C-alpha cells in the first residue's frame, strides 16, 4: 500500500541551533500548523523544543 499524503513525513530541527534533527509523521488534517515537540538534544544534553521545518 502506498503512503498517503494525509500523514506526511516531517523533519523536526532543534531550536538550540545544534543541527540535531528527528524525523516523524503527522496527521495533516488534525495538525495543519507546524509541529513543536519537546525532545532530547544530545549535543546540549537537555530537552529542548524541536520545530517542524519544511
DSSP-derived letter for residue 8 is -
The pLDDT confidence band at residue 3, using thresholds 50, 70 and 90, is confident
**Residue 54's pLDDT is what?**
82
| pLDDT tens digits, one per residue of 25-44 | 999 999 899 999 999 999 99
**Whether the predicted model's global pTM rises above the 0.95 cut:** no
CA distances from 2 to 5, 7, 24, 26 (A): 10, 11, 17, 16
pLDDT at 1: 66
Amino acid at each position: 500500500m502506498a503512503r498517503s499524503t494525509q500523514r506526511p513525513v516531517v523533519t523536526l530541527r532543534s531550536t538550540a541551533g545544534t543541527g540535531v534533527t528527528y524525523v516523524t509523521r503527522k496527521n495533516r488534517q488534525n495538525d495543519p500548523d507546524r509541529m513543536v515537540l519537546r525532545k532530547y538534544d544530545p549535543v546540549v544534553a537537555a530537552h529542548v523544543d524541536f520545530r517542524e521545518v519544511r
